[in-house]
């Protein structure tokens, strides 16, 4: 029950099928890595989980701690506890990071509740200190004119403030230099908890030097073709994705 459970998910855009009977379980307390070459459906999976309307789900189910989230609105899914760190975070001109996160937190309050502003700022600064983010950052417009690294830090800060039960990190390492990569990884490691499950989507092994996963999955052609321990990532790095492809060809013949 306490897991993000994806069961035989089939998703298409137009005539093209992208996810084929995709099945995966991320239990609470674990960090899973989902690896695979470009175009294999990793980012589609992330968007479908978050409720993006552009994709058509043909069949399957996504259970968040036993509750179906497929077909729900993006904000409902967010409130249910799923957070997606975007590969390409969007710019929101004129809206400061502090005000944006505040609005996100306020959206979770009941009609009679109101946000305790001083407590909110205390917590925001605490998290920023932990993530080694400069306090000046809070007054900047969200993602506007940010470097790749700054955008990813802002994603991690939002994640830390919203404290989701399940985190999906979509190619969080793309476009990061080594210092930014360390900051981001620290954030994710700091978020590790028995109460939280994470799925890290990545193309490269590099991120997994800093975030050590419990399980590594290899995705190919819209489904998981191989799962294993952290050693699998190293093996992939060494042998390349063609190795999986070749193995698959052998298995299928």
- Binding of another protein at residue 33 (CB under 8 A)? no
- Binding of another protein at residue 103 (CB under 8 A)? yes
Stretch in the footprint of another protein (CB under 8 A) among 32-40, 96-104, 132-140, 219-227 = 96-104
Residue-by-residue DSSP string for the chain = --EEEEEEEEEEETTEEEEEEEEEEEETT-EEEEE--TTSSHHHHHHHHTT-TTSEEEEEEEEETTEE-TT--HHHHHHHTEEEE-SSPPP-TT-BHHHHHHHHHHTTS-TT----HHHHHHHHHHHHHHTT--GGGGGSBTTTT--HHHHHHHHHHHHHHH--SEEEEESTTTT--HHHHHHHHHHHHHH--TT-EEEEEES-SGGGGTS--SEEEEEETTEEEEEESTHHHHHHHHH-HHHHHHHHHHHH-
Residue with smaller CB distance to another protein, 49 or 216: 49
Residue with smaller CB distance to another protein, 115 or 212: 115
- Binding of another protein at residue 139 (CB under 8 A)? no
- Binding of another protein at residue 246 (CB under 8 A)? no
User: Which residues within the stretch 195-214 sit at the binding site for another protein (CB under 8 A)?
Assistant: none
Residue with smaller CB distance to another protein, 65 or 163: 163
- Position among 83, 146, 166, 220 found at the interface with another protein (CB under 8 A): 83
Residue with smaller CB distance to another protein, 62 or 232: 62
Number of residues lying near another protein (CB under 8 A) = 31
- Binding of another protein at residue 66 (CB under 8 A)? no
- Binding of another protein at residue 58 (CB under 8 A)? no
User: Which residues within the stretch 154-173 sit at the binding site for another protein (CB under 8 A)?
Assistant: 158, 162
- Alpha carbon distance 213, 216 (integer Å): 7
Residues lying near another protein in the complex (CB under 8 A): 50-53, 73-75, 77-79, 83-84, 86, 89-95, 99-101, 103-105, 107-108, 141, 158, 162
């Amino acid at each position: 029950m306490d897991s993000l459970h994806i069961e035989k998910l089939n998703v298409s855009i137009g005539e093209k099928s992208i996810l084929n009977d995709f099945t995966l379980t991320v239990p609470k307390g674990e960090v899973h890595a989902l690896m695979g070459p470009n175009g294999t459906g990793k980012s589609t999976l992330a968007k479908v989980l978050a409720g993006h309307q552009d994709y058509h789900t043909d069949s399957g189910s996504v259970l968040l701690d036993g509750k179906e989230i497929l077909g729900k609105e993006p904000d409902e899914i967010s409130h249910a506890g799923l957070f997606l760190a975007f590969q390409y975070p969007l710019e929101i001109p004129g809206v400061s990071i502090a005000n944006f996160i505040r609005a996100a937190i306020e959206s979770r309050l009941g009609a009679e509740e109101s946000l305790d502003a001083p407590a909110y700022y205390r917590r925001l600064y605490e998290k920023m200190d932990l993530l080694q983010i400069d306090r000046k950052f809070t007054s900047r417009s969200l993602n506007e004119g940010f470097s790749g690294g700054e955008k990813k830090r802002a994603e991690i800060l939002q994640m830390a403030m919203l404290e989701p039960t399940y985190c999906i990190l979509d190619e969080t390492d793309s476009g990061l230099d080594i210092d930014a990569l360390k900051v981001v990884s620290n954030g994710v490691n700091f978020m590790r908890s028995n109460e939280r499950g994470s799925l890290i989507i990545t193309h490269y092994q590099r991120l997994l030097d800093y975030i050590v996963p419990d399980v590594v999955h290899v995705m190919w052609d819209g489904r998981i073709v191989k799962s294993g321990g952290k050693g699998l990532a190293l093996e992939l790095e060494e042998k390349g994705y063609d190795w999986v492809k070749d193995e698959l060809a052998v298995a299928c013949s």
